[in-house]
Each structure stands twice: as structure tokens, then as C-alpha cells.
């Protein structure tokens, strides 16, 4: 029996339904219809409890579980008498809320009755507390009706609009004119109940309706302060003396009353203060020493100690910065013992970091603008709050000025930090953006955690630290509390909220962009002797379609290059040229072997892959064996067949043979470990780790595969279903027969590397790592999704995640390859630091302290990741978001867009089908856009049905995007032909730059028809401009203009524009609406309608543009398949049922038996 309660909710919003269910309505009507004709006996609490336990036991639950007992307790009052608590919360939540609100007010008024009805209501209240949603509804109702104070919402964040980061209390008590105007507007609005703005409105109105507590009277009656004569009991003797605590309490009370009785001293306001403004309290001694800008940005609890620690009085009595400078300043903190009530400020003080490289180390710094020397110009005007692991700390810096151009710079600007040497640069602890500052340790945790888990961890640690400081302060107040004396009101500094997930993303991206050049240099410093190339579309989704990731790796599992393309195998020539150039510039010997998954050979001439790497004349191109074996599965009737694994095992034995010496050594070690009389059974893991394999040769492999096929032609499972579809398998075998030479091991190339040794049964066994095939890249493909901390990213964030993950993968693989070296115990990921340590250790000690995994060289200029895809489409990936963190440069609007993006998923990197880019890359922004008239709205193009070219390797090719020549010619020529037949004037298509709201950095290019001024001949269409032809591969021309907008829609838009205009004139804030697109195909990006080539049969969706065939053919195929399945089931039902055993081929022989038989022959 489950103790969890399912409250009555409505879908799809999953909100509480306060209206009664039909069953509850029927019971209520029956109750009021019979009136008082039927009396219900009120049971005692013990009886109710015992009956509830009996019901729990009958349902199979634990009668000792108080939650289950409460859920089965009966109601003893009202229209639902006799029903259980669980039934009430499942059928009428609104009635339960009303009953509990009334009961709470009775208890708060002082009603302590323990009657059976009151006890029953108390039990219902205890059960309702198990559901936070119900408790919030009750509190909300009471706040709305004014019976509960709204001060419980003081620390609630606004959560929307320009004041999203403020709490309700901060917004209400703020003296800013913007806040006052917003609150005045908010109180006059008619908002929808249950929304965030409604919650804020109720809070504001509740604060306005609060009656200020009556202060003590200014005139104290004489009888209250006149000394009383001692009573007889008081003068009876020493036994009746008043205690010291009582005397102290009376003295404090009298002093308090006398101080209240004095006439109040009027507050003197400054001359510039207007009437009604609160009087500013006098500054503390330390706060008076702070610069004006620091006093405005430092919290009140930090000002006193920072001013006393960092500043002193000069000879002219003016505050000056202390001469004893250091980086970190620690607050004095709380005293171990207090005799009077302390201020809460000392318990909530944080560290302070002072960054002054010019004053501390006399670093020579130059102006980024003109190159002249920078000199000190005092302290920078503001102080930053920096996010740490469990709290915050504050950071100040110096200001630098150029004597030539008179420009001023903060010392924490990126252009200044990059001028420092590595030792001093690493002392700067934070990453700064326009809105946030974050410690590097927090940013480093993003490499190993997801965004949501890191945010939850930080929020939990900050909350725990704030509560710990609060407990320390409150415990001191508790120790100083005197019995009989009212405790004075104290206030705790509020906990500053942790930045949101999008803000953490912007901080991580900023750090990656600061190290972008070094990261690219590390990525292009990898080489190898045996290369592998493979493509996958499991990683990224672009504009509704999956983009292809093509990766090139080496024998150490490192990745030399990773690029995105529109389709598999197309457009890789620039990547291959860059790799050849990298080897040539570094003086490395060309690789000897390249394993691929397609295009390994050609019927005539050179293969496509060999032609791309034409400069490497000695390169041997080989096909991955696993991909060849997977091609045989196309001839199977089902992948879940019982004989699937057995066939693949026999196929592997037909291709490979184990090394006899390695196999004999492993059998000997296994026999020695398990005993001479034991039966030795070698596992696949032991074989792959300690034994080497080699291919058998093309002729021998062909013969053995033919034998495997002959033995499986008629093999069936227990149901009589054959494994092989003979027609399909014969077609596959005839095509793949010529690739048997492509899978053979290249002569003279050692494919196995010894990585270590283990001892088994007293025998030393080597551990091998195989470099054959593209298996290491398959592992890299599975780990690529873990590089990204979220499932949605824009183009720039995605590029930074990819580069960081690529470098970490290469470092880990290099470390694993050198794990036997004792110098490789360090696990850092900064290659620049490693190179500096190696260089300095060689200069100082003459030896190398650590092993460098990657020999860092200069960035070769190769395009990586999204840069490659952008270049293919004639666009540039913007990578500059500003060098100065104190200047917005558009970064503030970017962070707000990320915070408002509701589709951001902070979870789940287990989805191997991709990271969806928020930026629409089809089409992209051109490198130099040509100004054109406004774009005309367009409709999506209908699907095209064209024959696809055949692929030489025999594997079906997937042609997508503008690089598929057949589709490209049809798409680019169709608009010209239609325009020449329909109109007399030629229409050309030029790119028009428009900015989409979801694209953070790259504007979208739409193609609008531009009619030339002079009419062109109807016989020959006018040629398209150069800009249009250059970007024609990125997007197809637009189709006919959109239909007219309905009158009601146009009227609503007009009213909306007028409201926005009036709001702007009055200074009000109105949140803009979001425009969402629904029912779009994820494969082609077009609407899921028949007009655009989409259909649905049973639970399967079909896209003609992605599949490359018509809807009619697909539907006919599905219906024929259903007819055949129906006929098969009918035939099986007609035949008598009998137990059938699978017809198995001969059992596979072990490698030792095969070798012995060959020796006998």
C-alpha cells in the first residue's frame, strides 16, 4: 500500500483543482437534501484511529505508519462525514482548504478545545501538512483575505521583468523612482490570479494595509515610575530578598521607560533631502574612509571592516589606500565572547580581494588602444560581488590611465590581464561578465557536472552557510537574553541569490573565450601514425535536422579534428587540406594507415578519401571491419532474431584469427591459476586484452564467409522464422565481396601496442591496445554529449563546449597512454601551465619535473566544429563578446535572452540523439551582407522527389543540404524557370539580413525577390547577384508571399501596438509576448502536413524530404507489409501447434581446434 497521495489536479498544467469532483458533488447534494433527518454519530478519536489501522492492514499496508493511518481516518463533520482524509483531498480540495483555514483561525484565537471534532480537525491539518501545494494554497487565501501577514513573502524573488533579481521586500522598500513608478502601476492593474505578478500585487497591497505597531507613549504616568513602598513581606528578612536577575530586569525596564518618556529629538535632514524621505543613519568609522563609489556598491555589513583594513588617514586627514598591500583580506569576524548585544554585521562579513598589479608588482602595462604606458589613476569606482563555492566575496581593483589618449581602464579588464606573465595572471581568481562575477573554481566544476546539479549544489551550500552564520548570531542573542526583558528587534542580512543557470553558462563561455587561442592551439597540436575517420549525427540538431560530426582520431584514441558538415562525407576537402598542412609545417612524417567507414575504394581510379589526402602518397586506406559486418545485417529478417549473435560470431571468426603464441600463453596462465584438472574457458575480455588478432587474407575470408552463409541459409528460430532473407543477403554479399581486400591488415604496420603487464597464475601476460578500425571514435561519439552541460545551446556556447571537451578528451587519452610513467601523476588540464613548469624546471634544476602530454605549438588556423560549418555556408561565427567586463557590448542583452529562454533544459546528457542548437543555421549571416529592401514573408518549400545518386562503396549515401548536386541544381534553377514563365520582368534573389529573436549572435538571412528597375528580356532570366550565388548553398530561394492576415488578427496587433506605445510614453513596463512555432517536423523543419510531404500511419511518422521518396510509395509499402503479416498470422493459426526447435548450424570451433584441423590437412 502506497502512502503517497495524488491530489486532485487538472492537466496539462498539473495545478490543483479546487472544484469538487462529480462524486463529491453528488454526496454534497444528498447531504443537503436529507438535511437533519439523518443524524451521524460522532466517534471518539481512539475509535477513528483503530478503524483506520484496520483499513490499512486490510489493504496490505503497515498499520504502524502514521501517514497511512491518517490517510484512512474518517471525517466526523460536514457534508462528507464518513469519508476518509485521502478521499477528501482527492475529490474536493477547495472544501478542505476552507475547513483548515477556519480551524487555523480558531486555534490562533486561543481555542484549545480537545473535543472529538477538534481532534479530528487537528488530524486533518496534520495530514494536509504532508502536501506543500495545499499548504501554499491555504496561506495564499489567508494573505488575500488579510488574516495572515504577507511578511512571510519578504525574501521571495520577483522572478520576472527588470526587477527579477530583487526580493519582494527590497522592491517594496526601495526609494528608487523606477521602483516607485512600477509599484504604483502594479497596484492599479487587474491581473490574473495565480500568476507571479498577482503574488507580487497581493504582497504590495498587504504591506500597504499593515497598521504600524503603536509605539510606547511619550508621557509616562507618574504612578508607573514612582518608587513603591516596601511591603511587609519584602522586609521580613533575608529569605525574602529579590534575586539579582529580577533587579536587573526591573532596572532595564525602568531605564527603557524613562528614555521613552523623554521628548524625541527632531531629526535634522540634509538641505537636499525632500520631505518624507527617511533619515540616513550616520556612517561608521570605517565606512567614512571608503570612496563614494565603494560605499554605494558594498553592502552595509562589509563597509566598516573593509574601510578600516584597506584605508588610513593621510597627513591632510583624507582617506588614502594603505601601503601594506596584499591580494586577500580576511574580515576580523565575531568575538569569542559578548557581554552586550552585537550587530549582525560581524557575523556576515565576507573576504575581500584587491587586484592592483601596477601598485603591487610595478608591472609595465601598455594601453590597448595606442600602445603607450599606463599609469595609476586611483581606485576603480565600483566593487564586484564574486560567487564562491559556499558564499560570496568582494573584489576591488585599481584604475589605470593612458597619458597619451587619456583613456582609463580597470585592471581586471581582459586586455590588461593578458599583458601579465603566467605566474601573475593565474593569481586573478575570477571570471567577470557585465552582470556577474564568478570564481574560477566554480567555473571549473562545470566541466564535470551538469548545469542543474551545479546550480542546486551551489544553492544548497550557500543556504547552509547563511543558516550557519544565522545560528551563530542567534545563539549569541539567546545567551544574552535576560528573563523578563523583551528582546529588541534584530534583522539578519538577506541571503544573496545564486545566479541562474543561463548566467552560469555566460560565465563559463566567457572563460572559454578568454582562453580560446590556447584551446585551439592544443586541439591542433595532435598527430598520429594510424588515423581513423568517422561521422555521426547523434550529437547535434540544427534547425530541426541533425548535422553530421566528422572526427579524425589517432592510434592513442586522441582526436585530431572535429568538424560539422551538412551531410556525411561531403565538403571534407578543406579539413583534409588542413591536416596535411599541419603535418607539413610541424615536420612530422605522414601517417601510414587511414581507417574509414565509407569511400574506401572505387571501381575506377582513386577512391574519394585517397584523393582528399592526395599529398600523402604512401597512405593506405582501409575499411573498418565492424562497419562491414553491420552491412550484412541488412539481409536479416529482424535484428532481434535468436540467431543474430551466433551469425555475427561466426562472421568475426571468418575474418580474424588469433595469434597462436599469445593464445597459448593465456591458456597456460589460466590453467595455472584454476588448476591443472580444471576446464579452462577464456572470456572475450581476456582474449581482447592479452591476445592479438590478424586478418586471414581476402581469399580465405571470402571462402569462410561463403561457408557461414551456406550454413545459415535455412537456419530458423524456435518459431520457424528464418534469420536470412536470401534475396537481400545475396545482394549484400555481391556488393560487399569486393571490400574484403579493404579490411585486410596493411603489411608492415604494427597495429598493437603494449600498454602494460599483468600476472596470472605466475605467468606474465602483456596487455595490448589495438589501433585497428574506428572503435575509438565510436567511444568518442558516446562521450561527446557529456562535453555539454545542457541539451540546448546557441552557436557560440556550443563551440566553446566542444573545444573544451575535445581538449580534455585528448589530455585524458594521452595520460592513459603514458600511465606507466611515474612523472604523469598530475591531472591538470592547462597545457600552458605544464609547459611553463617544464621550462622553468629545466632552467632552475636542469631536469623535467612532470611529463607533458601534448607538445603545444601555435594554432594552425584550421577551422574546428561550428566554424567549419559556417565557412561552408559563407558565414562567420562571431566570437567576440567584449573584452571589458564593465562595458555591456551586447552581453547584457544576451544574458537576459538566455534567462528568458523557457525551453532551456538543464538536465540530461544521456540523450544520445543530440544537443539542439538554438541558433537557426539555415541560412546563416553572410560575411558581408548587402543592404536590401525589407524581406517579404515566405512559405516553406514543398518537398522534392528526385532520384539519389548511387554510392561507389555499395552503402546507401545520405545526401542532404546544398552539397548534394542533384538537389542543388533543381532547387536553384526552379525559381528562375518559374519566374521566366510567369512574369515579363526578371526577378533576382538577394540576401536580406533580419534578426531572429532566438539567435543570440548570428542574424538570419532570408531571400526576398528584388525587382530590378530596368525590365529584362523574357527569354533569358537575369543573372543572380554575387552575394546570392555565394550563399545559395545555405538556403533555397523563397516561394510565393504569405497570404493576407485576417482582419481580427490585424486588429489585435494594432491594439497591442497602441498599448505598447502608451506604456512607453508613461514609463510603464509591459513584457513582450513570445512567438512559438508548433507542429514542425524535426527532420526537415517544415509543417507536418500533407502539403509538405508528411504523413502518418499508425504510430509511425513519415517525412518525404528526409526519406527521399513519395508519401504514396511509403503508404503502399506499409499497407502491403500489414497484409503480409496478417496472412502469416492466419497461416500460423491454421497449422497445428507443435514444439519446434531452432535449426542451428554447426557449432563454431575454438581457435585451437581450427588450427589443429588445418595442421592435419
Q: Is the separation of the CB atoms in 85 and 92 below 8 Å?
A: no
pLDDT category at 1149 given cuts 50, 70, 90 is low
pLDDT of residue 38: 54
pLDDT of residue 270: 35
Calculated CA dihedral for residues 835, 839, 844, 850, nearest 10 degrees: 40
Note the pLDDT tens digit of each residue in 862-916.
Answer: 999 888 888 888 888 877 666 677 776 545 545 554 444 433 333 333 333 345 5
Note the pLDDT tens digit of each residue in 924-945.
Answer: 434 444 344 444 344 444 433 3
Note the pLDDT tens digit of each residue in 326-350.
Answer: 999 999 888 888 877 888 888 999 9
Please enumerate in sequence order all residues whose Cβ is within 8 A of that of 373, keeping only pairs 6 or more positions apart, or say none: 364, 365, 366, 367, 402, 403
Q: Lowest-confidence range among 35-39, 158-162, 996-1000? A: 996-1000
pLDDT category at 155 given cuts 50, 70, 90 is confident
pLDDT category at 851 given cuts 50, 70, 90 is low
Using CB atoms within 10 Å of the CB of residue 925, give its burial: 0 to 12 exposed, 13 to 18 middle, 19+ buried.
buried
First to last CA, the chain: 70
Higher pLDDT, 463 or 10: 463
Mean pLDDT of 1026-1048: 47
Note the pLDDT tens digit of each residue in 1085-1119.
Answer: 788 888 788 888 877 888 887 787 888 888 888 88
Please enumerate in sequence order all residues whose Cβ is within 8 A of that of 18, keeping only pairs 6 or more positions apart, or say none: 93, 94, 97, 137
Task: Report the distance separating Cα 859 and Cα 518, nearest Å.
Answer: 8
pLDDT of residue 519: 86
Please enumerate in sequence order all residues whose Cβ is within 8 A of that of 959, keeping only pairs 6 or more positions apart, or say none: 567, 570, 948, 949, 966, 967
767 DSSP assignment: E
CA angle (1116, 1121, 1127) in 5-degree steps: 130
Q: Is the separation of the CB atoms in 757 and 765 below 8 Å?
A: yes
CA angle (42, 48, 54) in 5-degree steps: 140
322 DSSP assignment: -
* pLDDT surpassing 80 at residue 1122: yes
Please, which residues bridge with residue 766 across strands? 757
pLDDT of residue 624: 92
Task: Report the distance separating Cα 1145 and Cα 710, nearest Å.
Answer: 9
* pLDDT surpassing 60 at residue 282: no
Higher pLDDT, 1073 or 667: 667
Mean pLDDT (the chain, rounded)? 74
- The number of beta carbons lying within 10 Å of the beta carbon of residue 565 is 21
Higher pLDDT, 577 or 515: 577
- Half-sphere exposure of residue 1051: CA atoms within 13 angstroms, side-chain side: 3
- Smallest CA-to-CA distance from 594 within 581, 578, 582, 611 is with 611
Note the pLDDT tens digit of each residue in 1047-1085.
Answer: 778 888 888 888 777 777 766 655 555 555 557 787 787
Angular region, 874: left φ>0, alpha ψ -120 to 50, beta rest: left
pTM for this structure?
0.53
Task: Report the distance separating Cα 245 and Cα 968, nearest Å.
Answer: 95
- Smallest CA-to-CA distance from 1041 within 937, 928, 926 is with 937
Q: Which DSSP string do the residues of 14-71 spell out, in sequence order?
A: TEE--SPPHHHHHHHHHHHHHTTSS--PPPPHHHHHHHHHHHHHHTT--TT-HHHHHH
Please enumerate in sequence order all residues whose Cβ is within 8 A of that of 1078, keeping only pairs 6 or more positions apart, or say none: none
Please enumerate in sequence order all residues whose Cβ is within 8 A of that of 771, keeping only pairs 6 or more positions apart, or say none: 530, 555, 751, 752, 753
Task: Report the distance separating Cα 379 and Cα 761, nearest Å.
Answer: 71
* pLDDT surpassing 90 at residue 393: yes
pLDDT category at 647 given cuts 50, 70, 90 is very high
- The number of beta carbons lying within 10 Å of the beta carbon of residue 462 is 20
Beta pairing, strands 437-439 & 430-432: antiparallel
For 1110, the 3-state DSSP assignment is coil
Amino acid at each position: 500500500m502506497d502512502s503517497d497521495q495524488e491530489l486532485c489536479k487538472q492537466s496539462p498544467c498539473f495545478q490543483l483543482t479546487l472544484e469538487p469532483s462529480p462524486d463529491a458533488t453528488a454526496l454534497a447534494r444528498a447531504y443537503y437534501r436529507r438535511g437533519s433527518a439523518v443524524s451521524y454519530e460522532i466517534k471518539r478519536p481512539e475509535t477513528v484511529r483503530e478503524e483506520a489501522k484496520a483499513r490499512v492492514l486490510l489493504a496490505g499496508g503497515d498499520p504502524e505508519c502514521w501517514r497511512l493511518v491518517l490517510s484512512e481516518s474518517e471525517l466526523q463533520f460536514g457534508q462528507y462525514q464518513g469519508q476518509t482524509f485521502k478521499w477528501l483531498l482527492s475529490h474536493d480540495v477547495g472544501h478542505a482548504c476552507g475547513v483548515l483555514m477556519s480551524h487555523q483561525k480558531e486555534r490562533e484565537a486561543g481555542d484549545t478545545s480537545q473535543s472529538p471534532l477538534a481532534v479530528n480537525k487537528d488530524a486533518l491539518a496534520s495530514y494536509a501538512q504532508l502536501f506543500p501545494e495545499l499548504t501554499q494554497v491555504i496561506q495564499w487565501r489567508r494573505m488575500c483575505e488579510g488574516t495572515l501577514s504577507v511578511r512571510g513573502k519578504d525574501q521571495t524573488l520577483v522572478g520576472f521583468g527588470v526587477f527579477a533579481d530583487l526580493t519582494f521586500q527590497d522592491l517594496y522598500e526601495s526609494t528608487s523612482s523606477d521602483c516607485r513608478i512600477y509599484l504604483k502601476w502594479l497596484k492599479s492593474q487587474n491581473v490574473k490570479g495565480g500568476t507571479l505578478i498577482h503574488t507580487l500585487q497581493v504582497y504590495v497591497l498587504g504591506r500597504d494595509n499593515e497598521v504600524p505597531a503603536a509605539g510606547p507613549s511619550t508621557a509616562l504616568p507618574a504612578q508607573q515610575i514612582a518608587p513603591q513602598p516596601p511591603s511587609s513581606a519584602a522586609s521580613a528578612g533575608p529569605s525574602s530578598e529579590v534575586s539579582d536577575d529580577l533587579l536587573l530586569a526591573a532596572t532595564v525596564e525602568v531605564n527603557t521607560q524613562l528614555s521613552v518618556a523623554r521628548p524625541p529629538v527632531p531629526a535634522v535632514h540634509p538641505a537636499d533631502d525632500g520631505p518624507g524621505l527617511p533619515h540616513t543613519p550616520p556612517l561608521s568609522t570605517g565606512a567614512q574612509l571608503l570612496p563614494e563609489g565603494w560605499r554605494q556598491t558594498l553592502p552595509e555589513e562589509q563597509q566598516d571592516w573593509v574601510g578600516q583594513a584597506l584605508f588610513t588617514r593621510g597627513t591632510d586627514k583624507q582617506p588614502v589606500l594603505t601601503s601594506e598591500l596584499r591580494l586577500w583580506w580576511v574580515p576580523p569576524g565575531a568575538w569569542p565572547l559578548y557581554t552586550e548585544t552585537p550587530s549582525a554585521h560581524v557575523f556576515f562579513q565576507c573576504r575581500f580581494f584587491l587586484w592592483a598589479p601596477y601598485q603591487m608588482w610595478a608591472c609595465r602595462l601598455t594601453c590597448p588602444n595606442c600602445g603607450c604606458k599606463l599609469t595609476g589613476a586611483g581606485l576603480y569606482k565600483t566593487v564586484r560581488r564574486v560567487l564562491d563555492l559556499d558564499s560570496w566575496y568582494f573584489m576591488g581593483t585599481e584604475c589605470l590611465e593612458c597619458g597619451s589618449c587619456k583613456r582609463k581602464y580597470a585592471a581586471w579588464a581582459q586586455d590588461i590581464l593578458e599583458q601579465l606573465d603566467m605566474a601573475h595572471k593565474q593569481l586573478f581568481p575570477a571570471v567577470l561578465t557585465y552582470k556577474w562575477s564568478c570564481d574560477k573554481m566554480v567555473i571549473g566544476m562545470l566541466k564535470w557536472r551538469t548545469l542543474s546539479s551545479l546550480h542546486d549544489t551551489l544553492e544548497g551550500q550557500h543556504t547552509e552557510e547563511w543558516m550557519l552564520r544565522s545560528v551563530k548570531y542567534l545563539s549569541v542573542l539567546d545567551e544574552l537574553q535576560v528573563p523578563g526583558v523583551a528582546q529588541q528587534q534584530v534583522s539578519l542580512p538577506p541571503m544573496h541569490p545564486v545566479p541562474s543557470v543561463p548566467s552560469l553558462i555566460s560565465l563559463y563561455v566567457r572563460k572559454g573565450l578568454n582562453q580560446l587561442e590556447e584551446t585551439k592551439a592544443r586541439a591542433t597540436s595532435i598527430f598520429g601514425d594510424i588515423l581513423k575517420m568517422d561521422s555521426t549525427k547523434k550529437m547535434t540538431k540544427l534547425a530541426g535536422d541533425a548535422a553530421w560530426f566528422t572526427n579524425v582520431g589517432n592510434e592513442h584514441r586522441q582526436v585530431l579534428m572535429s568538424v560539422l558538415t551538412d551531410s556525411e562525407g561531403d565538403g571534407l576537402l578543406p579539413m583534409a587540406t588542413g591536416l596535411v598542412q599541419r603535418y607539413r609545417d610541424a615536420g612530422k612524417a605522414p601517417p601510414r594507415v587511414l581507417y574509414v567507414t565509407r569511400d574506401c575504394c572505387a571501381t575506377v581510379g582513386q577512391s574519394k578519401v585517397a584523393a582528399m589526402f592526395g599529398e600523402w602518397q604512401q597512405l593506405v586506406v582501409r575499411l573498418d571491419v565492424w562497419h562491414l559486418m553491420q552491412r550484412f545485417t541488412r539481409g536479416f529478417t529482424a535484428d532481434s532474431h535468436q540467431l543474430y549473435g551466433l551469425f555475427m560470431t561466426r562472421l568475426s571468426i571468418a575474418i580474424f584469427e588469433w595469434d597462436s603464441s599469445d593464445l597459448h600463453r593465456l591458456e597456460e596462465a589460466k590453467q595455472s591459476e584454476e588448476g591443472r584438472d580444471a576446464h579452462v574457458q577464456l572470456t572475450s575480455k581476456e582474449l581482447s586484452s592479452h591476445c592479438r588478432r590478424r586478418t586471414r587474407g581476402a581469399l580465405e575470408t571470402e571462402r569462410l564467409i561463403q561457408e557461414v552463409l551456406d550454413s545459415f541459409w535455412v537456419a530458423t528460430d524456435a518459431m520457424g522464422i528464418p534469420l536470412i532473407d536470401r534475396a537481400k543477403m545475396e545482394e549484400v554479399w555481391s556488393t560487399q565481396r569486393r571490400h574484403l581486400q579493404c579490411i585486410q591488415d596493411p603489411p608492415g604496420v604494427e597495429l598493437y601496442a603494449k600498454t602494460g603487464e599483468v600476472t596470472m597464475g605466475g605467468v606474465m601476460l602483456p596487455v595490448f591496445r589495438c589501433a585497428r578500425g574506428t572503435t575509438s571514435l565510436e567511444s568518442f561519439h558516446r562521450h561527446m554529449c557529456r562535453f555539454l552541460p545542457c541539451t540546448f545551446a546557441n552557436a557560440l556556447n556550443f563551440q566553446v563546449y566542444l573545444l573544451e571537451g575535445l581538449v580534455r578528451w585528448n589530455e585524458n587519452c594521452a595520460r592513459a597512454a603514458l600511465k606507466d610513467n611515474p612523472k604523469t601523476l598530475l591531472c591538470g588540464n592547462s597545457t600552458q601551465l605544464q609547459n611553463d613548469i617544464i621550462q622553468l624546471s629545466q632552467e632552475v634544476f636542469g631536469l623535467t619535473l612532470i611529463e607533458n602530454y601534448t607538445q603545444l605549438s601555435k594554432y594552425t588556423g584550421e577551422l574546428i566544429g561550428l566554424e567549419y560549418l559556417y565557412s561552408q555556408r559563407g558565414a562567420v561565427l562571431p566570437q567576440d563578446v567584449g573584452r571589458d567586463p564593465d562595458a555591456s557590448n551586447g552581453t547584457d542583452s544576451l544574458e537576459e535572452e538566455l534567462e528568458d529562454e523557457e525551453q532551456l533544459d538543464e538536465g540530461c546528457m544521456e540523450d544520445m540523439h543530440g544537443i539542439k542548437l538554438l541558433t537557426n543555421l539555415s541560412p546563416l549571416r553572410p560575411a558581408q551582407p548587402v543592404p536590401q529592401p525589407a524581406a517579404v514573408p515566405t512559405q516553406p518549400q514543398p518537398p522534392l522527389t528526385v532520384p539519389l545518386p548511387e554510392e561507389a562503396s555499395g552503402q546507401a549515401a545520405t545526401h542532404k543540404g546544398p552539397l548534394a548536386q542533384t538537389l542543388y541544381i533543381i532547387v536553384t534553377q526552379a525559381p528562375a524557370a518559374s519566374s521566366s514563365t510567369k512574369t515579363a520582368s526578371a526577378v533576382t534573389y538577394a540576401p536580406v539580413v533580419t534578426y531572429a529573436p532566438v539567435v543570440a549572435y548570428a542574424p538570419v538571412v532570408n531571400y526576398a525577390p528584388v525587382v530590378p528597375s530596368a525590365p529584362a528580356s523574357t527569354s533569358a532570366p537575369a543573372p543572380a547577384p554575387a552575394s546570392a550565388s555565394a550563399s545559395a548553398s545555405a538556403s533555397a530561394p523563397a516561394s510565393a508571399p504569405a497570404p493576407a492576415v485576417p482582419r481580427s488578427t490585424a486588429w489585435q496587433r494594432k491594439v497591442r501596438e497602441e498599448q505598447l506605445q502608451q506604456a512607453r510614453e508613461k514609463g510603464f513596463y509591459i513584457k513582450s509576448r513570445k512567438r512559438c512555432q508548433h507542429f514542425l517536423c524535426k527532420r526537415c523543419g517544415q509543417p507536418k502536413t500533407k502539403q509538405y510531404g508528411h504523413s502518418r500511419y499508425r504510430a509511425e511518422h513519415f517525412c518525404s524530404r528526409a526519406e527521399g521518396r513519395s508519401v504514396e510509395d511509403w503508404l503502399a509499402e506499409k499497407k502491403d507489409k500489414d497484409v503480409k503479416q496478417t496472412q502469416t498470422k492466419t497461416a500460423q493459426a491454421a497449422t497445428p501447434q507443435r514444439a519446434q526447435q531452432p535449426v542451428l548450424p554447426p557449432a563454431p570451433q575454438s581457435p585451437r581446434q581450427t588450427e589443429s584441423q588445418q595442421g592435419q590437412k
